[in-house]
């Protein structure tokens, strides 16, 4: 059987619902991992995707994060949040006299499910903001917890993958101009070392097959004509275990989904498995 699995930072699932439904109809993924829902779980458009044959495991609070898994081939053993997932406490909320929470918040950044013969995690790794910021330390802590969470599944005989917006470019060639990122997040040694830890745990980067361009990117800023100029970075990644990567028959970035008005600033990454 052929199983098509994709990941897409949708950048607000309700604001881009028509784009999402259009893409589901055309690309026909069996499983789609979504990030940056910007929707509460209850407000997720379950019925709209159900009409196209998809079950959904959604996890969101309506803020800037949120993740989901859509599946046509079954949805079982759903887990929301990483085991032991760290929370984030913005330093500004710890000031005396504020009405903001003083305890770290567990953000909805991870959801897992078994979809037919494959198990997947949909993850939205913290951005990090800037090197030295509390959010950067939180990002590295979160990635360490992700590594611990996937070790058992990575070592198993079932095809398994972690898909999502990692907010890390694995190499300098994954950035249109790495000099523009000097001293910034997404390209630091510590972040890339966290990706190397995933590889040490038994996962490999499923690199998309280049189509129009020699090196595929997955994110382009809305500003400065970044998309038509191809000023992009590859931060939406698929890390699979050996049974997963050995079954890959095709993989690509669907740039067409990034074109036009009202799109996400990310493009879907699609992986076909021959199982």
CA atoms within 13 A on the CB side of 54: 25
Q: Is 167 annotated as a binding residue?
A: yes
- Mapped onto helix, strand or coil, the DSSP state of residue 207 is coil
Q: What's the Cα-to-Cα distance from 6 to each of 83, 92, 146, rounded to whole Å? A: 24, 37, 20
Strand duo 110-115 + 76-80: pairing:
antiparallel
Q: Is 42 annotated as a binding residue?
A: no
Cβ within 8 Å of residue 97, ≥6 positions away: none
Secondary element (H or E) of residue 164: strand 160-165
Active site residue 165: yes
Catalytic one among 165, 174, 236, 254? 165
Catalytic one among 54, 88, 124, 138? 124
Q: Is 266 annotated as a binding residue?
A: yes
Active site residue 174: no
- Mapped onto helix, strand or coil, the DSSP state of residue 266 is strand
Q: Is 177 annotated as a binding residue?
A: no
Active site residue 124: yes
Strand duo 55-59 + 67-71: pairing:
antiparallel
Strand duo 118-124 + 160-165: pairing:
parallel
Closest CA to 27 of 220, 253, 208: 253
| DSSP output for 233-272 | E--EEEEE-HHHHTTEEEEEE-GGGG-STT--SB--EEEE
Q: Which residue has the tokens 């929707």?
A: 39
CA distance 27 to 30: 9
CA distance 193 to 72: 35
Binding site, annotated residues for Mg(2+): 9, 36, 165, 167, 265-266
Binding site, annotated residues: 9, 36, 165, 167, 265-266
Among all residues, which ones are annotated catalytic?
A: 124, 165, 266
């Amino acid at each position: 059987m052929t199983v098509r699995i994709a990941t897409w930072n949708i950048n607000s699932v309700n604001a881009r619902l028509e784009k999402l439904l259009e893409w589901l109809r055309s690309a026909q993924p069996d499983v789609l991992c979504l990030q940056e829902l910007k929707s509460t779980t209850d407000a997720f458009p379950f019925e709209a995707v159900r009409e196209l044959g998809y079950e959904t495991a959604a996890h969101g609070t309506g803020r800037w994060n949120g993740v989901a898994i859509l599946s046509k081939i079954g949805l079982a053993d759903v887990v929301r949040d990483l085991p032991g997932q760290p929370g984030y406490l913005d330093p500004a909320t710890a000031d005396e006299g504020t009405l903001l929470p003083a305890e770290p918040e567990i953000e909805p950044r991870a959801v897992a499910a078994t979809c037919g013969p494959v198990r997947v995690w949909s993850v939205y790794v913290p951005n990090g903001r800037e090197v030295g910021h509390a959010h950067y330390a939180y990002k590295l802590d979160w990635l360490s917890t992700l590594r611990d969470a996937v070790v058992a599944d990575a070592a198993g005989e079932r095809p398994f993958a972690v898909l999502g917006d990692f907010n890390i470019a694995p190499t300098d060639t994954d950035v249109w101009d790495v000099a523009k990122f000097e001293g910034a997040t997404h390209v630091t040694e510590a972040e890339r070392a966290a990706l190397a830890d995933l590889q040490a745990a038994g996962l490999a980067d499923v690199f998309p097959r280049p189509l129009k361009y020699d090196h595929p990117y997955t994110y382009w800023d809305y500003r400065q004509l970044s998309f038509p100029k191809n000023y992009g970075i590859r931060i939406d990644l698929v890390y699979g275990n050996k049974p997963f990567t050995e079954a890959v028959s095709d993989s690509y970035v669907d740039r067409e989904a990034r074109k036009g008005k009202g799109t996400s600033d990310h493009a879907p990454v699609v992986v076909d498995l021959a199982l």
